Amino acid sequence: MSWQQYIDTLKAPDHNNQVPVAEAAICGIAPGSEGIWASTPGLASISVDEIKKLAGRRDTFAQNGVHIAGQRCRLIRDQMDMESVYTLDLKTAADANGDTFGVCVGRSLQAIVIAKGTKEASGGQLSSKVFTVVDYLRKSKF
């Protein structure tokens, strides 16, 4: 399966026939070769530094937030190191219209999976989508 097919899976309708994911990316996290494997246009500008921060120590996220594709996000919940969860829930800063968006980041063995929600998406919808991909990648030793 190509990495783009994982993006397509993230953006597919859920069991309620809703599409909660507006933007998605899968990024490699191996030291020295961090980079985007596949993404939608809205997350194509994720930097190597942002990938390293998301895959590394997150102890400053609660106080300082984190940036994803240049957009500031605040920490909602960090369960990235929790067995069977492996996700980090974030919320974007308000855009020009005052809207905020949920973001879920999951970690497999070799990658991070990022999903930015639609305006209407709940955190549970996003984390469910991300977990499905992360769980599959972990079982495949990715």
- Kind of pairing between the strands at 87-92 and 35-39: unpaired
Does position 138 have pLDDT exceeding 80, yes or no?
A: yes
pLDDT in tens, 18-65: 899 999 999 999 999 899 999 999 999 999 999 999 999 899 998 999
Residue with tokens 């999951």: 106
**Between the CA atoms of 90, 94, 99 and 104, what dihedral angle is there, to the nearest 10 degrees?**
-10
Structural domains in the chain?
3-139 (3.30.450.30)
Confidence at 1, pLDDT banded by 50, 70, 90: low
pLDDT at 73: 96
Distances (CA, A) of 131 to 15, 35, 100, 125, 138: 15, 20, 22, 10, 10
Q: Quote the mean pLDDT of the chain.
A: 93
Global pTM value = 0.94
Q: Which helix (H) or strand (E) holds 51?
A: helix 48-55
* Closest alpha carbon to 129 in 59, 24, 4, 57: 24
Mean pLDDT of the 88-108 span: 95
